[in-house]
Amino acid sequence: MNDPKFLKDRSEFSGRTWSAEAQAKGRPEALIHMRNSMRLFESTFLSDGRNWALGGEQPTMADLQAVWVFDWLMGMPEALDASLMGESVFPRLFALVKRWNGALKDAKKTAPRPVTLKAEDAISSVLAGPDTADLTIDPNDPLKLSKGDVIQVWPTDSGFGHKDSGELVGLNEEELVMVVKSEKGKGVLLHTPRWGFRVVKMDGSKL
């Protein structure tokens, strides 16, 4: 919070001030929302004694989506008010987070080791040329876009100050794919989820 570059970056990303005063002012309301979210999991998904969000013997992507924000805040000193949302208040949720971290630790033991690349090799791989042969455009999509349309895409929750532009090459209910020109003039495929992003056609423009 004492780094001007960090505050500038976060302010531009979120669209609001990140001063210490603003953070302190917004904390009570943030705690209300977080407590409501924690109570939701404690009293619904986990109320029947299940180990995972959707039941079953193993964690799923649903648990990843459910756990990450709770795990993040629980691991941040003084982020949560223990009297309002501590382990004694939401024991099932805290137990879920512990189970998740245990499962994650076990999974890392057997997971394949990541391949390490030098920067220049990674760049060459990315710029080797996008393969768009299998990509199609959903003709029933409400936006009525066509392959080759120049579009602009940006998130609607945060980071909306930056907008990506490219040529549309794929579109379905889950994602859109466009070719974005790199600084070296080659195309890079950019995949964007449909949820939480706005898409507009740039009429009359060319890349």
Q: What is the mean pLDDT of the chain?
A: 89
Has residue 119 been placed in a domain? no
- Say whether both 18 and 61 belong to one domain: yes
Q: To the nearest whole percent, how much of the chain has pLDDT over 70?
A: 94
- Average the pLDDT over 144-168 and give the result: 90
Residue 43: pLDDT above 80? yes
- Say whether both 74 and 137 belong to one domain: no
Has residue 193 been placed in a domain? yes
- Say whether both 94 and 145 belong to one domain: no
pTM for the full model?
Answer: 0.71
Q: To the nearest whole percent, how much of the chain has pLDDT over 90?
A: 61
Has residue 117 been placed in a domain? no
* CA proximity to 150, closest of 85, 79, 204, 197: 204
- Coil, strand, or helix at residue 137? strand
Could you tell me the residue range of the domain that residue 154 belongs to? 129-201
Residue 129: pLDDT above 80? no
- Say whether both 182 and 90 belong to one domain: no
Q: What is the DSSP string of 138-203?
A: -TT-TT---TT-EEEEEESSS-TT--EEEEEEEE-SSEEEEEEE-TTS-EEEEEEESTTEEEEE-T
- Average the pLDDT over 8-34 and give the result: 88
What CATH number did the domain enclosing 135 receive? 3.40.30.110
- Say whether both 30 and 77 belong to one domain: yes
Q: Which of 29-43, 62-76, 106-120, 124-138 has the lowest mean pLDDT?
A: 124-138
* In contact, 23 and 11? CB cutoff 8 Å: no
Has residue 121 been placed in a domain? no
- Say whether both 96 and 27 belong to one domain: yes
Has residue 81 been placed in a domain? yes
- Say whether both 85 and 16 belong to one domain: yes
**Per-residue burial over 166-177, b = 16 or more CB atoms within 10 Å of its CB, e = otherwise:** bbbbbbeeeebb
All residues at 6 or more sequence positions from 69 whose CB lies less than 8 Å from its CB, including other chains: 37
Has residue 160 been placed in a domain? yes
- Average the pLDDT over 21-35 and give the result: 92
Number of structural domains found in the chain: 2
All residues at 6 or more sequence positions from 138 whose CB lies less than 8 Å from its CB, including other chains: 171, 172, 173
Residue 59: pLDDT above 70? yes
* CA proximity to 153, closest of 202, 194, 199: 199
